[in-house]
Amino acid sequence: MLKIAFATGDGTAVDQHFGWCRRFDVYQVSAEGAELLESRLLGPADSDEDNKIESRLSEVRDCAILHVCDIGGSAAARVVNARIHPVKVPQGTPVAELLARLRAVLAGNPPPWLRKVLRQHAPEAVPAWTPGADVVASVAGGAA
């Protein structure tokens, strides 16, 4: 299970810039389902850049992935340093669509970036499939 945050104004779509976001909806997601854990409401963004970033980061620090419609370079670096994978999506992308896509990917063969996130945040959910394993097995079997 992964905790995923969405920067949203109304809970239906990702439509917020990370630094100015006043609400993060946090879901618990697996291949089997997704559940809204909570909506985290924030006050107005501080005018001080460091305080603004830290106030938003503190609200998603327990999440593995963060969906936003925009994020500045220094904020993105701090999010990544907190071991959170930021994902920029077009403004207005429906949260339900993103959850469905993520569930489908988790049920199949996740891309390398998502396998890394899984290893960091949910090692029990890492799929057994490893890219190239079939090739290694066939080469090893052919050399014997």
What would the two tokens of residue 102 be? 């993520």
- Read off the pLDDT of residues 59-101 as tens digits, 9 standing for 90 and up: 999 999 999 999 999 999 999 999 999 999 999 999 999 999 9
pLDDT of res. 113? 87
26, β-bridge pairs: 5, 38
Q: Is 70 helix (H, G, I), strand (E, B) or coil?
A: strand
Residue 143 has pLDDT above 80, yes or no: no
- Rounded Cα–Cα distance for residues 77 and 93 (Å): 23
pLDDT of res. 101? 95
pLDDT of res. 119? 87
8, β-bridge pairs: 14
- Read off the pLDDT of residues 9-52 as tens digits, 9 standing for 90 and up: 999 999 999 999 999 999 999 999 999 999 999 998 888 888 89
**Average pLDDT over the chain, rounded to whole?**
87
- Rounded Cα–Cα distance for residues 36 and 46 (Å): 27
- Rounded Cα–Cα distance for residues 15 and 25 (Å): 12
Residue 16 in contact with residue 69, Cβ under 8 Å?
yes
- Rounded Cα–Cα distance for residues 106 and 1 (Å): 10
Q: What is the pTM of this model?
A: 0.83
- Rounded Cα–Cα distance for residues 69 and 134 (Å): 38
